[in-house]
Structure 1
């Protein structure tokens, strides 16, 4: 029987921005529960919630102070249990965001670790003596800029942080730490959680000798300081695969097809290793290629073909257009092509993940300087690396604050929220929302789209075309990635969906047109 995560679609909720239930301007668990019916109507199968654990919010939840609790801003454990039950009642799976590479500096473990060199938890984090010059142990750079080493005056050593200094990295070479973190997975699986997205999985183990990373000869300051070196020794170490395999064995010990999804930004050939080298690892190593790919048909065709060819036996593909860290698809390709991108995401072979708001065509929102929240933007201003623009509140209707909150939203709404909202698009047959619903409905109705085979088709100009089939059912998808008409002979059959509506023109795809056609035998 096909696991749900192969045939289903996943929806990412950024909890601060989805729905506020108590008027403090920040989304919460009860707010998510109140909007579950939107997700059911949309047609997704699972909800992935970005971190909701207790946190000082130095990095908005990715600095965890307690892995087995709920931050009061979002609610309580009872609220979580109620949300989980409500999701399951509606046939929705619920996934949490596991942050195993680092904790908050306010976590009791780190407080003990930094209290003295001989504390039993000292080795739960990564401590090193100064380098020969008295400075940091090596040249490793934080992903948020600056040295990845923070000096601790009290104990006379540096600790390592791949991100903020408030996010010290955990030492996964310590067996006690490893056991404690595996118990975190069990805690949430025992509560009924259906799986996890694992944050920065490829960062989790560092080279045991901590050598310098090689300089990047192509570095330019506008890339962000983290790119000044290649992260050869600070990420993607061989030992991480044994950890991922242990996580997988825990997930597989629970009933109901629990799933693990790994956040891994690596070239495809290295990404594939996370399906499992010697034992199964994560079910879905996130495939982020569409986020950075040039929006050109031939380039996308090559990317898709190479990815399909690289999959190991039994490896299931997955696709993503955006997330809480990267610019939204509507900003990258424009509103018209965002509709074509939706058709691509939801008809390729593999599990799609939809970022909240993409289903109504949300674009990045310009954030005034005095409203900036993101520590990355505050540390390296002016480089366009800030993530606030893609984390703005979900507009639900045209009431005050778009129905998101009765208070002051933690980030500003987009300028078009009075017309670009769920309620308005729900009654507009030509809206992005209705297109998403139609495509997700087709995935459920047609096995060829959900789990069928795939092959690229020959096409001219800026047309990307492919066929999906299962048994006798064959479906052709043709996408015009330009605003100009392109030659393409649409096969005879039933047009199941179109980005533009109406009847296709013979021998031509209109500008910004994508079609899904059930072909005649």
Structure 2
């Protein structure tokens, strides 16, 4: 067995606003999560990553934090949070908090004080710059608001930076007092008993905006090393950083244990396999499985001996996995199981996003009034200003709209999918009478049971936890095939990403079935015809 609990664990991401409502206000909450802990224990997950539940005006659904050490009333109280930590621990489940330290809400007291009093100690907690020739310091743009990333402070005539929305104000990590304040806050949560942090856009904290360096700033790894030493250094603690800019080599640098930085990062290279290179978010192309494999395999080989991988298909910012990489019609269940088997066979820590275990799908909408996502609403305005009619703009928005992943969890076929007794904050996908937890648990051939078996395998199997990865390269493009080897045990993982029959040559050795998404499987290896979206793990002799 390996040294760290998170190297044999599966993490389940909860978007609290959409998981389970306990009081009928239509918004998921912490008591709702507590009420579903037995479900999560039955699924078998080891840790829950909670998207932010801190006090927030919710411009970006909690990723704009107004108080790091208070719970937003929409989600409950600090007493509820303490109960969640304790109740989860009783079931052997750890809590991982989402941490946003690149920026705060403009309603955070640090920023309020900084604006009201230019001599405030917290003024330098944020990024300020003087005007240049009466204008913003440079032409940096805001990702969520559109327009300039610099906003004029009328009181002082200086500009402050907001790379996301105008209510998400960038912090100045060059200030050691800010860093100490953040570490104190992190230790507050560690002392409460949480056992991990997911760190939002962590590759941006060392930005140097006047030089237009927004990611991988020169002091990034210095700050992360300092953070490690000031907080979790002597604990078996999970830290995973969101790093859109990270290459496999960068990911190894972040996660190499000898460097004392992070446990792992989310590395997004595989998610470009269905996007136009250099294009806009909505510019899709057919999935290039060869490129997908290349990106996934590069992480496996680069971090074979140093560093650690995160494994994921989706999260709160991404389209639903089965809609993006699989199929939503007759092959929905087969393709969702295929995606699970292909990913969970790799070396690393798997992350399951809520609803992935039942094959929840994207939820296209007809009008912009139905969209909550602050980024999508801004881009819609830009598309209309550029000349797109409403229908064309909505077709583009539906491709990447983050609401796809945020529609409420589908528990039952009853009203509002069992999520709430009130009006849901975001419309529930109309397919909930067919796709829901109750139906999935009642069918032992369902996606849900495949996830449960894979999660159990991760806990029990040294070959999945530690086994060496080897690509099977001589296979057709739509086929993902590799082996994992540990001591005398070798497993073959094979998955067909196509909706057609594909002939593939596999090792001619006796095999034993570990898991499959069809009720039968190739008992004789060698030249095998794989069925649409077929996937299996076989133990080789």
Gaps of 5+ in 2: 275-286, 381-392
Structure 2 partner of 1:378 = 377
| Residue 225 (structure 1) aligns with | none
1:223 aligns to what?
none
Q: Deviations over 1:384-441 (max 9, x none)?
A: 2431121000010111111100000111111110110000000112211111112222
Classify 1:124/1:252 alpha carbon distance in 2 versus 1 (closer, same or farther; 3 Å).
closer
For residues 420-468 of structure 1, give each alpha carbon's deviation from its aligned partner in whole angstroms, at most 9, with x where no partner exists. 0000000112211111112222222322122222111244222221111
Separation in 1, partners of 2:338, 2:271: 14
Contact residue 241 and residue 277 of structure 1 kept, 8 A: no
Identify the match of residue 472 of structure 1 among 488, 491, 497: 488
CA distance in 1, matches of 2:350, 2:257: 24
RMSD: 1.8
Aligned-residue offset at 1:270: 3.3
What stretches of structure 1 of length at least 5 have no aligned partner? Answer: 214-232
Matches within 5 A, 1:350-365: 350-365=348-363
The structure-2 alpha-carbon separation of the partners of 1:78 and 1:516, relative to structure 1 and needing over 3 Å to count, comes to same
* Corresponding position of 1:43: 44
Please report how far the alpha carbon of residue 152 of structure 1 lies from its aligned counterpart in structure 2 after TM superposition. Answer: 1.4
Match status 1:244 vs 2:224: yes
**Where does residue 227 of structure 1 map in the other structure?**
none
Matched position secondary structure for 1:84: helix
**How far has the Cα of 1:338 moved from its partner?**
2.8
Deviations 1:201-230 (A, max 9, x none): 01112227x13x4xxxxxxxxxxxxxxxxx
**Closer, same or farther: CA 102–424 of 1 in aligned 2, 3 Å:** same
Contact 1:248–1:260 (CA<8 Å) still a contact in 2?
A: no
Q: CA contact under 8 A between 1:460 and 1:486: conserved in structure 2?
A: no
Structure-1 separation of matches of 2:243 and 2:531: 37
Matched-pair contact (CA < 8 Å) for 2:54–2:71: yes
Change beyond 3 A, Cα 1:354–1:181:
same
497, 510, 513: which one pairs with 1:495? 513
Residue 89 of structure 1 corresponds to: 90
Q: Deviations over 1:251-283 (max 9, x none)?
A: 44444x111110000141334332369832111
CA distance 1:251–1:9, change in 2 (3 Å): farther
**Alignment deviations for residues 149-176 of structure 1 (CA, whole Å, 9 cap, x no partner):** 1111122111001111101111111111
The Cα shift of 1:16 comes to 0.2
Find the residue that maps to 1:136 and give its secondary structure.
Answer: coil
In structure 2, the residue matched to 1:481 is 497
Q: How has the CA–CA distance of structure 1 residues 171 and 291 changed in structure 2, closer, same or farther, with 3 Å as cutoff?
A: same
Partner residue in 1 for 2:24: 23
Larger mean CA deviation between 98-107 and 304-313 belongs to 304-313
What SS does the aligned partner of 1:441 have?
helix
Is residue 475–residue 481 contact of structure 2 (8 Å, CA) maintained in 1? no
SS in 2 for 1:114: helix
Residue aligned with 2:485, SS: strand
Distance 1:305 1:58 in 2: 37
Moved more, 454-463 or 277-286: 277-286
Could you tell me which residue of structure 2 aligns to residue 288 of structure 1? 268
For the pair 1:137 / 2:137, whether they are aligned, the reply is yes
- The correspondence for 2:244, drawn from 241, 260, 265, is 265
Equivalent pairs counted in the alignment come to 497
Aligned-partner SS, 1:380: helix
The SS at the match of 1:321 is coil
User: Structure 1 residues 252 and 109 mapped into 2: Cα distance closer, same or farther (>3 Å)?
Assistant: closer
Query: Matched residues in 2 for 1:191 and 1:131: separation?
Result: 46
SS of equivalent residue, structure 2 residue 482: strand
Offset of residue 518 of structure 1: 1.4
Deviation at 1:314, TM superposition (A): 2.6
How far apart are the structure 2 equivalents of 1:270 and 1:444?
28
TM-score (norm 1): 0.91
Q: Which residue of 2 aligns with 1:217?
A: none
What residue is the counterpart of 1:519 in the other structure? 540
**Counterparts of 1:351 and 1:244 in 2: how far apart (Å)?**
21
Tell me if the contact between 1:251 and 1:260 (Cα under 8 Å) persists in the aligned partners: no
Residue by residue over 1:112-142, the C-alpha shift from the partner in whole angstroms, topping out at 9 and shown as x without a partner, is: 101132222211111111122x121111111
CA shift digits 1:311-335 (9 cap, x unpaired): 3853112211011111111111222
- SS of the residue 2:300 aligns to: helix
Question: Could you tell me how far 1:34 is from its partner in structure 2?
Answer: 0.8
Instruction: State the alpha-carbon separation in 2 of the partners of residues 281 and 64 from structure 1.
Output: 24
Distance in 2 of aligned mates of 1:312 and 1:431: 33
Out of 303, 314, 322, the position equivalent to 1:322 is: 314
Q: Provide, for residues 344-383 of structure 1, a one-character-per-residue CA deviation record: whole Å limited to 9, x for no partner.
A: 1211111111111111111111234323212112211134
Q: What SS is found at the alignment partner of 1:19?
A: coil
